[in-house]
């Protein structure tokens, strides 16, 4: 499972992204991979480990809801992929 969010405010010259993905790792655990920063540049990265996939997906959903409350939205091109 993965998601890509953006926040753009041209008046403030703001163009930010937030990328999240849930992936298995080599040790049988699940990783919530997060990357964020300015669009067009490399961002900061954080990885959190979970015992099972359900906990990692729940963390992703919680984070996505939090980011949407702060003005991030799903990129329209991504919506077309799932429609």
Question: What digits encode the pLDDT tens for the residues 23-39?
Answer: 999 988 999 999 999 99
Angle ∠(19,22,23) on CA atoms, nearest 5 = 120
In whole angstroms, what is the distance from residue 69 CA to residue 72 CA? 7
Q: Supply the pLDDT for residue 66.
A: 95
Which tokens hold the place of 54?
A: 């359900």
Residues facing 15 on adjacent strands: 8
Under DSSP, the state recorded for 12 is: G
| CATH code, residues 2-75 | 2.20.140.10
If one counts every other C-beta atom within 10 angstroms of the C-beta of residue 2, the result is 11
In whole angstroms, what is the distance from residue 21 CA to residue 35 CA? 9
Question: What digits encode the pLDDT tens for the residues 37-77?
Answer: 999 888 899 999 999 999 999 999 999 999 999 999 986 55
């Amino acid at each position: 499972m993965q998601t890509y969010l953006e926040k753009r405010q041209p008046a403030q010259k703001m163009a930010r992204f937030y990328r999240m993905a849930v992936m298995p790792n080599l040790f049988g655990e699940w990783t919530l991979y997060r990357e964020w920063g300015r669009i067009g540049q490399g961002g900061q990265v954080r990885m959190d480990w979970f015992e099972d996939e359900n906990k990692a997906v729940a963390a992703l959903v919680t984070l996505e809801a939090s980011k949407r409350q702060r003005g991030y939205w799903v990129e329209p091109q991504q919506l077309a992929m799932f429609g």
